[in-house]
Amino acid sequence: MTNSGSTLWRRNPPKDAAPEPFKHLIERYEHRLRQVTCTCGWQGDSTDVGPDGWKGHLLEMRGPVR
């Protein structure tokens, strides 16, 4: 970062660096419909009730909390 604060300098990762692993993140949230779309394309209920919700998807994809 520069001293002026107007420009942010970012270092590029080394060319031989391994790609970052895919992460399941909320890509879109529709409040009225209570629907979540994941970056993998999964869509489901944003409420965390039962295995069909967002937490159920994360548990299935990531495994139990570490």
pLDDT in tens, 8-52: 666 766 677 676 677 888 889 888 888 889 999 999 888 766 777
Determine the structural domain holding residue 54 and report its residue range: 26-62
Number of folded domains in the chain? 1
Indicate whether 33 belongs to any domain: yes
For the whole model, what pTM was predicted? Answer: 0.58
Indicate whether 45 belongs to any domain: yes
Residue pair 50/22 in contact (Cβ under 8 Å)? The answer is no
Beta bridge partners of 62: none
Please state, in angstroms and rounded to a whole number, the distance separating the CA atoms of residues 36 and 28. Answer: 6
Indicate whether 2 belongs to any domain: no
Q: What does the pLDDT read at residue 1?
A: 45
Indicate whether 40 belongs to any domain: yes
Indicate whether 3 belongs to any domain: no
Q: What does the pLDDT read at residue 45?
A: 84
Instruction: For residue 2, name the pLDDT band (cuts at 50, 70, 90).
Output: very low
Residue 58 CB partners (closer than 8 Å, separation 6+): 24
Indicate whether 19 belongs to any domain: no
